[in-house]
Structure 1
């Protein structure tokens, strides 16, 4: 009997996610990213936190099918990145709107 390697969807997804994270690490070292973070402004909340305090966020998270491309990566503060987690843009907008209604 011949043994064939079968990959589960989870294994393929994990491999793709790892590759996309490596792409993001490469982009983080680029001149493009330096220009994106130069203002020190969070893309989500608009606060000035300084470029050293910005993290890279995938607007469409890797776990939800996003990729590490320039149009899907934004600088954001650690607070927003931690709160957003793996939310899609529409889910994040609902969260932010709810926060503003509570104020």
Structure 2
């Protein structure tokens, strides 16, 4: 097995575990309590918002507070592993 694959797998597992723990904190509950999706700005029930990594884990992001935002499932699914500027281009094209 490729050594970089093992390290990537260990990194992803560690960061996903950190995100899981952060989802249980008061910080996260307050963050999503507005019910507003970070990307589309639409209103949802707070329980329906997911945690998104602005800079995706698969592209070097971390599970740190500055990199985590609440977003709706539709935006999270469409964003996939895009960087913020790639996603902004997509969102701009949707508004036209």
SS of the residue corresponding to residue 48 of structure 1 reads: coil
Post-superposition Cα deviations, 1:28-68, rounded to whole Å, max 9, x if no partner, equal: 00000010011111011000011010000000000000000
Task: Measure the CA separation in 2 of the matches of 1:72 and 1:23.
Answer: 12
Structure 1 segments unaligned to the other structure (5+ residues): 1-5
Partner of 2:61: 66
Task: Measure the CA separation in 1 of the matches of 2:10 and 2:42.
Answer: 35
Please tell me whether residue 54 in structure 1 is matched to residue 25 in structure 2.
no
Task: Measure the CA separation in 2 of the matches of 1:12 and 1:48.
Answer: 39
Correspondence 1:34-45 to 2 at 5 A: 34-45=29-40
Structure 2 segments unaligned to the other structure (5+ residues): none
Task: Measure the CA separation in 1 of the matches of 2:87 and 2:2.
Answer: 33
Q: Provide runs of 4+ in structure 1 moved above 4 Å.
A: none
Equivalent of 1:95 in 68, 76, 90: 90
Residue correspondences, number:
96
SS of the residue corresponding to residue 66 of structure 2 reads: coil
TM-score (norm 1): 0.90
Higher helix share: 2
TM-score (norm 2): 0.96
Please tell me the root mean square deviation across aligned C-alpha atoms, in Å.
1.1
